Amino acid sequence: MSLEAIEKVTQVEAENKARKAAAEAEAQRIVADAEREGLALLQKARTDAAESGKELLRQAEAKAAERAAEIDRASQAEAAALRETAGQHLEEAAEFIVGRVVKH
């Protein structure tokens, strides 16, 4: 093999070695970028899930407060109806008691 051929082989090997090193560096950069983007997406998903959970909790609390208000209104109406009924029978009850006391 001539000296020129040896130099050419050495040059090609050096170029191949440089290309391989560049490809490895590019592969590492791509992996690092993918990991960084993956972590960012994961963090965004966690943040979105937390916000969604907070919104669902807020909605549930609002529905619970609305239902509690409905129950309160219904119980107030029922209590008023019972008071009215009791008031209507109060005079009858008083007459009955007085009548029983007077008779004995």
Looking up tokens 């007085």 gives 98
Query: Whole-angstrom Cα distance, residue 61 to residue 69?
Result: 12
Query: Whole-angstrom Cα distance, residue 94 to residue 30?
Result: 93
Query: Whole-angstrom Cα distance, residue 98 to residue 96?
Result: 6
Tens of pLDDT, residue by residue over 28-78, are 999 999 999 999 999 999 999 999 999 999 999 999 999 999 999 999 999
Of 7-21, 40-54, 89-103, the poorest mean pLDDT is in: 89-103
Please state the pTM of the whole predicted model: 0.53
